[in-house]
Amino acid sequence: MSAEEENERISSYTKRNTGLAKAQNFVKYRARQVIAKCISVVRVGPEKVYLIPRIARGGNWLYEWMKAHAERQETGNDVYVVQMPGMDVWLEEFPLLKDFTLDAQKIRFRSLRETGMHQRIREQFTEEQIQRFIQEVLLSSESFQQKIAHAQKYVGEDTLVINVRRGDYYSHPHIHKNFGIDTVAYLHEATQQMLKVHTPSNILVTSDDTQWCAENLGFLKDIAPTQFEKIGYGMFGDFAALSVSRYLILTNTTFGYWGAYIATVRQKAQVWAPNVHELEQSLRQIHSQPPFQHQQSWISVAPTDGYRSWLESER
């Protein structure tokens, strides 16, 4: 994705989340509902296309690809995800995703359309659907299998892999308010909980900002020898490292969640994750349920210092 496209992606999110924009979007949403009812008599499919918000990235897209895969197997109809800027690298790494991706210019007027919002992993997908998508579409990739073999040189049976999300969660005020967590405080607590059940032989930290991790997470070296350097193969090298680990500590990122989903399918990994994904979800959270992106077996790590969540906007 070019710098211009990335700026447009960020802008689409920040503009959408101002007070005025939210009110305007609600009016537009209601208007679209009325229009949708009027044209539903001609938009009868049978093919369906899932449309995705521009702010979404790789981990978000995987939920929609999995939804298209599951629905196509269930109905026998063609189901697609509309192609977005930046998807090319994912389609190259996981070639079978191309079967579920459609250029926006090729969407027929008669095609059914729906906004892709399918991250409620425990509610919207069965265990069988998750396993089949991972095994048939993701783990079938020869390129990714090569990265998995490479990652296993660094990730042993007792290695702890930690995934830290930085990037726009911290560089853009609107996104930071909704997603930025106190990463250092969270990882102190998460590692203490992990040590109650496992003593790691070594720690591998994967991140989009390894320099920040090296400068701020030195305490991990008191637990076990820790590597902050990339193991190679860029983003998908990190993804492979998560996928082969038996012990994972995640921050609030769908990229990390998907690495953990794969690790759970491959070797029933033990996973620790923060008790919050985003501010809007936290404000709606009832009865202290974990974020809806978490699988049932994951351990939800809550603050022990009196705060409700790890979000810096709530601390």
Give, for all 315 residues of the chain, the pLDDT tens digit: 565 655 565 565 555 555 555 555 544 445 444 444 544 555 555 899 999 988 899 999 999 999 999 999 999 999 999 999 999 999 999 999 999 999 999 998 888 988 889 999 999 999 999 999 999 999 999 999 999 999 999 999 999 999 999 999 999 999 999 999 999 999 999 999 999 999 999 999 999 999 999 999 999 999 999 999 999 999 999 999 999 999 999 999 999 999 999 999 999 999 999 999 999 887 766 557 899 999 999 999 999 999 989 999 999
If one counts every other C-beta atom within 10 angstroms of the C-beta of residue 110, the result is: 12
For the chain, where are the E strands, in sequence order? 48-51, 79-82, 101-102, 112-115, 160-164, 203-207, 226-227, 247-250, 270-274, 299-301
The two tokens of residue 135 are: 């095994």
- For residues 300 and 291, what is the distance between their CA atoms, to the nearest angstrom? 9
Residue-level pLDDT at 288: 72
What 3-state class would DSSP assign to 290? coil
Q: What is the pTM of this model?
A: 0.89
In this structure, are residues 109 and 42 in contact, taking their beta carbons and an 8 Å threshold? yes
User: Which is nearest to 291 in space by CA: 274, 310, 308?
Assistant: 274
Residue-level pLDDT at 168: 93
Prior bond of 290 cis (ω within 30°): no
In this structure, are residues 220 and 162 in contact, taking their beta carbons and an 8 Å threshold? yes
In this structure, are residues 301 and 273 in contact, taking their beta carbons and an 8 Å threshold? yes
Q: E strand or H helix at 206, and its extent?
A: strand 203-207
- For residues 11 and 38, what is the distance between their CA atoms, to the nearest angstrom? 31
In this structure, are residues 63 and 100 in contact, taking their beta carbons and an 8 Å threshold? no
